[in-house]
A and B are shown apart, each in its own frame.
Chain A
Amino acid sequence: MEPQTLIDYTRSLDCIHCGLCLRTCPTYQLTGAEPSSPRGRIHLMRAVAEGDIEADAAFREEMDFCLLCRHCESVCPSGVEFGALMEHTRAGLAPQTAIGRLARKLGFKLLESRTQLRLVAAALRLLQVTRLARLIAPLLGERGSALTKLPAVGPSSERRPLPEESPAEGAEPVALLEGCVMPELLGEVNRATLRVLNDAGHSVSVPSSQPTCCGSLQAHNGELERARALAKETIAAFEESDGVPIVTNSAGCGSHMKEYPNLFAEEPEWRERAERFSARVRDLSEVLSPRERSSASSAAVQEPITYDDPCHLCHGQGVREEPRALLDATGLERVELSESESCCGSAGIYSALRPKDAERILEGKLEALRSSGARTLVTANPGCQLQWQAGIQEHGMEVEVLHLAELLDRAQPDVS
């Protein structure tokens, strides 16, 4: 590919090389290396575009090493759209390694088919129940560790899809994005989401025509064509419920769907439909309003609790206060987690593709969790939830990981 089209050159010029992003970058924190920082990566991108260097293996490695957490965007005074820059570059790069290519192809195909996801979930459950997973994992090498780190897959009753319509009264109706891995691995989170929305008076519709995946993982990993196709399907599915908010309990999906219009620079008609769609997208925490919740029923939650900001909620969507306000209204004691806005290492499929790096990044977060003294960790994104659960289990810590929806579900609204 020509260097000029490989790099979004115009966007790369937004960087003024001040370096204020350095300290926020998880990979710079690990290495102290300029090429593993946002500023350094942009510098290399610009060098490729200007013909000073080739997009060689070292270049691809630095691009792949990035978690796309977008923490740098939150501190960039110059307004560099780093996420978009990186997605553009990745789209142009051939995947780094054969195994990465395979993982992507297989992984993405899987994510796009509900039938296949169900089959895999069922197979995984079988492996887990029979403890075969532990035997097979070592045979798969470094990436096999992902197999043992996945949470226990529930019985099929927990994995059934949400009903298409769940009526309630008192608040505006909403449409819900079901998500790809959510129903299979974290079905209870989806059900908790449905209950807290219903409890708050929102009728919830779950359009059956929504594709299995919103396309965010494809976009982050350079599969922009597939991402566009999935975005179109998603947009069309939710046009039936025009006007009502589209709610997601996954920060990664929310952030991506709020930016759908960026995918359609060259398709004005779709761009317009994407803009209408994106204006309706809300994170769960943006539609619920803080309500007093009974402390009696909150006995099901170990205190103190703490909240870890998912990158694609705080950096991607600028949502920081809403989840905290909802948590504080429960009356549960909450402590702040230091560096709560730094990435946990999950980063979509990153933790599966680069398990060692993901683990190193999580180590700092686990240390922060330890010193916070929290007994319950709350997050608002499925990837983060899985990553935290795996790390906490591995380190033998006694901290429960809950999705915001699960916590709110346990601390029922005070009806008195």
Chain B
Amino acid sequence: MDSGFLRALEQVVGPEGLTTDSTRRRAYECDGLALVRRVPDLVLAPLDTSQARECMRLLREEGLAVIPRGAGTGLAGGATPHEGGVVFKTSRMRRVLEVSERDRFARVEAGVVNVDLTSACSHHGLRYAPDPSSQQACTIGGNVANNSGGPHCFRYGATTRSILGLTVITAEGEVMELGGPEPDPEGLDLVGCFVGCEGMLGVATEVTCRLIPAPETTETLLALFPSLDGACEAVTELIAENLEPSAIEILDRLTIEAVEASVLAAGYPDEADAVLLIDIDGLAEEVRATAQDVGEIARAHGAFEIRTATDAKERARLWAGRKGAFGAMGRIAPDLYVADVVVPRTKLKEVVLATTEICQARGLKLSNVFHAGDGNLHPNISYDRRDEVEVARVLEAGTEIMKACVAVGGSLSGEHGIGLEKRDEMHRVFSEADLDAMLRVRAAWDPDERMNPGKAIPVRGCMEIKTKPLPVPSGGSS
């Protein structure tokens, strides 16, 4: 890379904002999906919006590809520089700019960690609802890019429901202010368009988030089931009965064992084959009534015990255990393939059974921990990326699982985004015309397609959709 160009960048971000040496760049070759790797040509870490704008202008002049990155906890390869280019990360932009108690919003820089926003507003009796399992590490900017979910999105909606305004730097180096603290700004909903764009429309540098009052009462139930089937059926009925807990999660036997062996051991029972972890919040009376109904339905589907967390500490432990489940699977194998599909909630049992069969047929180790209330399944397959044969079987199983979900009217992604992992499956749910329309939206923001190229929208040629498999893991180039 031209040394004059690097000097110009360094003048903007300072030496700490620029990573050029090949060893350190290596650490950015993947995000949470370590299967696909490529070392970026450069890593840039601006400190604020104005530095970000200056950087983007310089990058435009060089015509370089830009790969936005938050904390790199994504599971679909969205922040992987698989075509080279410049990793543009927000992890140094982490000031909470404003918390407005009265108007119930917070304005934060994009690199603020999700849990830090939660604690910044908890003094005010407020909370930011979306709580991805990686909330201890993931950034608000990354949540915006992926329209992330989390257990409590069952009641409060995914990230898009909680975003009021954005400061965005476009590929052209322009700063755009979209939306704002007021609930319903006039004009086209460009905030809605941007959330979930997976870094293809620009980089958000500041985010205005909707806050909601913390509930008066929260109760956490743990229903113990002798089988995964029973737990799935119970969820289907909870939904049919219009009960509205704030979160409904399922953990299976293997997941429980891994969590209980870890520092996050939460007291999950060893006698159950599956548990439902349910949060109910609201006014005390409403919570009591819902808890009773939930308990009855769970028992009707075979739950042999319903436990209630006794205090905030126990609730926190149960949730920390659930949210650390992905990491805990590191005890089983060095890598984990986390599928992220959505099915109608009447089909939970059927699809869970199908995923079990798909994995069994390929001799793969499957565990299940998922946002059952949303029908958002996470069949987790443990593997070792050094074993090429196993990797091929895992990817094949992933595709089969997606097919099974689409076949019953489901979708490809609940919350992790499409990224690289699911890009080439997009044709299963979208027509040529749909994909073309997406490209036109993208072109309106980024005509040169420099923002996060090669992600989310399948690469097509000669009117033919290429369904090439994920790139074989390579050592990467530097």
Task: Spell out A's residues near B (CB within 8 Å).
Answer: 13-23, 31-35, 40, 43-44, 47, 50, 52-54, 56, 58-59, 62, 73-80
B32 touches A77 (CB 8 A): no
For residue A34, which residue of chain B has the nearest CB?
B27
Nearest-Cβ distance from residue A320 to partner chain B, whole angstroms:
13
A43 vs B94: C-alpha distance in the bound complex, in angstroms?
A: 24
B134 touches A18 (CB 8 A): yes
For residue B45, which residue of chain A has the nearest CB?
A32
Nearest-Cβ distance from residue A180 to partner chain B, whole angstroms:
31
Question: Is B263 an interface residue, CB under 8 A from the partner?
Answer: yes
B24 touches A18 (CB 8 A): no
B27 touches A77 (CB 8 A): no
B262 touches A77 (CB 8 A): yes
A53 vs B22: C-alpha distance in the bound complex, in angstroms?
A: 8
Known: A18-B134, A31-B16. A58 touches B24 (CB 8 A): yes
Task: Select which of B45, B73, B262, B384 is within 8 A of A33 by beta carbon.
Answer: B45
Question: Is B223 an interface residue, CB under 8 A from the partner?
Answer: no
A16 vs B336: C-alpha distance in the bound complex, in angstroms?
A: 7
Name 14 interchain pairs, CB-CB below 8 A, sorted by A. A15-B330, A16-B327, A17-B32, A18-B134, A18-B326, A22-B73, A23-B137, A31-B92, A33-B16, A34-B27, A73-B263, A75-B263, A77-B325, A78-B327
Known: A18-B73, A79-B261. A58 touches B21 (CB 8 A): yes
Which residues of chain B have C-beta atoms less than 8 A from A56's C-beta? 23
A47 touches B327 (CB 8 A): no
Nearest-Cβ distance from residue B179 to partner chain A, whole angstroms:
26
B475 touches A76 (CB 8 A): no
**Range for the number of chain B residues in contact with chain A:** 35 or more
B27 touches A79 (CB 8 A): no
Nearest-Cβ distance from residue A338 to partner chain B, whole angstroms:
9
A20 vs B263: C-alpha distance in the bound complex, in angstroms?
A: 12
Which residues of chain B have C-beta atoms less than 8 A from A62's C-beta? 23-24
Which residues of chain B have C-beta atoms less than 8 A from A35's C-beta? 19, 23-24, 26-27
Question: Is B424 an interface residue, CB under 8 A from the partner?
Answer: no
Which residues of chain A have C-beta atoms less than 8 A from B34's C-beta? 17
B32 touches A18 (CB 8 A): yes
A52 touches B476 (CB 8 A): yes
Interface residues of B in 67-106 (CB under 8 A from A): 71-73, 89, 91-92, 94
Which residues of chain B have C-beta atoms less than 8 A from A52's C-beta? 26, 475-476
A76 vs B263: C-alpha distance in the bound complex, in angstroms?
A: 7
For residue A318, which residue of chain B has the nearest CB?
B263
Question: Is B65 an interface residue, CB under 8 A from the partner?
Answer: no
For residue A58, which residue of chain B has the nearest CB?
B23
Known: A19-B134, A56-B23. A77 touches B264 (CB 8 A): yes
Which residues of chain A have C-beta atoms less than 8 A from B28's C-beta? 34
A20 touches B137 (CB 8 A): yes
Which residues of chain A have C-beta atoms less than 8 A from B26's C-beta? 35, 43-44, 47, 52-53
B24 touches A20 (CB 8 A): no
Known: A32-B94, A43-B26, A44-B23. A16 touches B330 (CB 8 A): yes
B23 touches A18 (CB 8 A): no
A23 vs B264: C-alpha distance in the bound complex, in angstroms?
A: 16
Per-residue contact bits, chain B 191-212, to A (CB 8 Å; 1 contact, 0 not): 0000000000000000000000
Known: A32-B94, A78-B331. A17 touches B30 (CB 8 A): yes
Interface residues of B in 327-342 (CB under 8 A from A): 327-331, 334-336
Which residues of chain A have C-beta atoms less than 8 A from B262's C-beta? 76-79
A32 vs B28: C-alpha distance in the bound complex, in angstroms?
A: 12
Q: What secondary structure prevails in chain B residues at the interface with A?
A: loop
Which residues of chain A have C-beta atoms less than 8 A from B19's C-beta? 33, 35
For residue B47, which residue of chain A has the nearest CB?
A32
Question: Is B467 an interface residue, CB under 8 A from the partner?
Answer: no
B94 touches A74 (CB 8 A): no
A16 touches B23 (CB 8 A): no
Known: A20-B137, A20-B324, A74-B263. A79 touches B24 (CB 8 A): no
Per-residue contact bits, chain B 244-269, to A (CB 8 Å; 1 contact, 0 not): 00000000000000110111100000
Interface residues of B in 259-314 (CB under 8 A from A): 259, 261-264
Which residues of chain A have C-beta atoms less than 8 A from B324's C-beta? 20, 77
Question: Is B395 an interface residue, CB under 8 A from the partner?
Answer: no
Nearest-Cβ distance from residue A368 to partner chain B, whole angstroms:
13
Question: Is B398 an interface residue, CB under 8 A from the partner?
Answer: no
Taking A18-B73, A20-B134 as given, write out 20 further A-B residue pairs in contact, using a Cβ cutoff of 8 Å, ordered by the A residue number: A13-B384, A15-B334, A17-B335, A18-B134, A19-B71, A19-B134, A22-B73, A33-B19, A34-B28, A34-B91, A35-B23, A40-B27, A43-B27, A47-B26, A76-B327, A77-B262, A77-B264, A78-B327, A78-B329, A78-B331
A54 vs B73: C-alpha distance in the bound complex, in angstroms?
A: 26
Nearest-Cβ distance from residue B188 to partner chain A, whole angstroms:
34
A386 vs B324: C-alpha distance in the bound complex, in angstroms?
A: 36
Which residues of chain B have C-beta atoms less than 8 A from A20's C-beta? 134, 136-137, 324, 327
Question: Is B115 an interface residue, CB under 8 A from the partner?
Answer: yes
B137 touches A22 (CB 8 A): yes
For residue A13, which residue of chain B has the nearest CB?
B334
Question: Is B419 an interface residue, CB under 8 A from the partner?
Answer: no
A17 vs B327: C-alpha distance in the bound complex, in angstroms?
A: 8
Question: Is B111 an interface residue, CB under 8 A from the partner?
Answer: yes
Which residues of chain A have C-beta atoms less than 8 A from B475's C-beta? 50, 52
Nearest-Cβ distance from residue A85 to partner chain B, whole angstroms:
14
Task: Select which of B111, B327, B336 is within 8 A of A32 by beta carbon.
Answer: B111
Per-residue contact bits, chain B 135-147, to A (CB 8 Å; 1 contact, 0 not): 0111000000000
Nearest-Cβ distance from residue B18 to partner chain A, whole angstroms:
11
For residue A40, which residue of chain B has the nearest CB?
B27
Known: A56-B23, A77-B262, A79-B263. A18 touches B45 (CB 8 A): no
Nearest-Cβ distance from residue A9 to partner chain B, whole angstroms:
11
Which residues of chain B have C-beta atoms less than 8 A from A59's C-beta? 23
Which residues of chain A have C-beta atoms less than 8 A from B328's C-beta? 77-78
A15 vs B336: C-alpha distance in the bound complex, in angstroms?
A: 11
Task: Select which of B30, B71, B258 is within 8 A of A22 by beta carbon.
Answer: B71
Question: Is B117 an interface residue, CB under 8 A from the partner?
Answer: no
Question: Is B221 an interface residue, CB under 8 A from the partner?
Answer: no
For residue B24, which residue of chain A has the nearest CB?
A35
Interface residues of B in 9-60 (CB under 8 A from A): 16, 19, 21-24, 26-28, 30, 32, 34, 45
Question: Is B418 an interface residue, CB under 8 A from the partner?
Answer: no
Which residues of chain B have C-beta atoms less than 8 A from A13's C-beta? 334, 384
Question: Is B113 an interface residue, CB under 8 A from the partner?
Answer: yes
